[in-house]
């Protein structure tokens, strides 16, 4: 399985200037990868091109061997009156309910399971929504700011759990948090500020799977490389 983008360009309908042009990269192994960069440079647009939600202006996208591709984002909301536990049980396949219970605990949502969705904080709502997507049958899941409004320690716990529980799945994590992108991601596609060429650069992340795996020297080197690229 692989994801290949070859010379992909995109222009918003009616816009005079391209959002991005000549974006090329390959992901040839499952794992936790990332799109990183400032707002407004095309991270979300490229994600939606990959999942087929919008059309690219030119270039090629190949998802060889990848079946279902899903896109989740932090602004997606369930009906406010919806009960958290009842909704998850209804939308998640019965064969995955054991995994659901495990994720609810890991995500720190055990005390919320009997609450309505509109009673949750923004961070709790984002976590519930992410559980819905994680337990669907897919080969690639794009997480667009899916852990926004979640505290740092809980985000780290969740990311490490996802990497451990879904080792054969492709993930693309869109985040503005350079520390967690450098620390947890394997391949980091850095979207550069407007006017810089090339518009994207691929950087190797630390890709840690346990906190004790972290080398401070390696992390500092990766952080510097990402920041210099952006």
Burial of 161 (0-12, 13-18, 19+ CB in 10 A): middle
Burial of 80 (0-12, 13-18, 19+ CB in 10 A): exposed
Q: Rounded distance, CA 195 to CA 186, Å?
A: 26
Rounded to the nearest 5°, which phi and psi values hold at 197? -130, 140
Q: What is the pLDDT of residue 45?
A: 97
- Tell the residue number behind the tokens 């519930």, with chain if given: 128
Tell me the pLDDT tens digit for each residue of 9-24.
999 999 989 999 999 9
Tell me the pLDDT tens digit for each residue of 34-73.
999 999 999 999 999 999 999 999 999 999 999 999 999 9
Spans of all domains in the chain: 3-229
185 close to 55: Cβ distance less than 8 angstroms? no
Q: Rounded distance, CA 76 to CA 74, Å?
A: 6
Q: What is the pLDDT of residue 54?
A: 96
DSSP assignment letter at 194: T
Q: Rounded distance, CA 135 to CA 61, Å?
A: 25
* Other Cβ atoms closer than 10 A to 119: 13
Q: What is the pLDDT of residue 74?
A: 82
Q: What is the pLDDT of residue 166?
A: 96
pTM of the model: 0.94
Question: Architecture of domain 3-229 in CATH?
Answer: 3-Layer(aba) Sandwich (3.40)
Q: Rounded distance, CA 127 to CA 34, Å?
A: 19
Secondary structure percentages of the chain, helix, strand, coil, to 5: 40, 25, 40
Q: What is the pLDDT of residue 165?
A: 95
Q: Rounded distance, CA 153 to CA 160, Å?
A: 11
Instruction: Tell me the mean pLDDT per 10 residues along the chain, length 230.
Output: 97 92 97 96 97 96 96 81 88 88 95 92 94 94 96 95 96 96 98 88 95 88 94
Q: What is the pLDDT of residue 91?
A: 87
């Amino acid at each position: 399985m692989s994801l290949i983008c070859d010379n992909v360009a995109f222009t918003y309908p009616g816009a005079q200037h391209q959002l991005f042009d000549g974006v090329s990269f390959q992901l040839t192994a499952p794992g936790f990868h990332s799109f990183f960069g400032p707002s407004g440079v095309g991270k979300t647009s490229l994600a939606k091109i990959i999942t087929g939600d919008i059309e690219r202006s030119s270039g090629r996208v190949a998802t060889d061997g990848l079946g279902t591709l899903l896109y989740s984002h932090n602004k997606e909301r369930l009906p406010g009156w919806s009960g958290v536990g009842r909704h998850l049980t209804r939308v998640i396949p019965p064969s995955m309910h054991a995994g659901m219970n495990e994720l609810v605990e890991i995500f720190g949502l055990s005390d919320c399971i009997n609450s309505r969705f509109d009673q949750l904080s923004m961070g709790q709502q984002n976590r519930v929504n992410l559980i819905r997507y994680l337990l669907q049958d897919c080969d690639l899941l794009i997480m667009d700011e899916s852990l926004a409004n979640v505290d740092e320690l809980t985000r780290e716990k969740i990311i490490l759990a996802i990497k451990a529980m879904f080792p054969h799945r492709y993930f693309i994590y869109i985040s503005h948090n350079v520390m967690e992108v450098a620390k947890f991601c394997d391949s980091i596609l850095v979207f550069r500020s407007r006017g810089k060429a090339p518009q994207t650069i691929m950087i190797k992340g630390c890709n840690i799977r346990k906190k004790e795996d972290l080398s401070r020297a390696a992390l500092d080197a990766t952080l510097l490389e990402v920041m210099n690229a952006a």
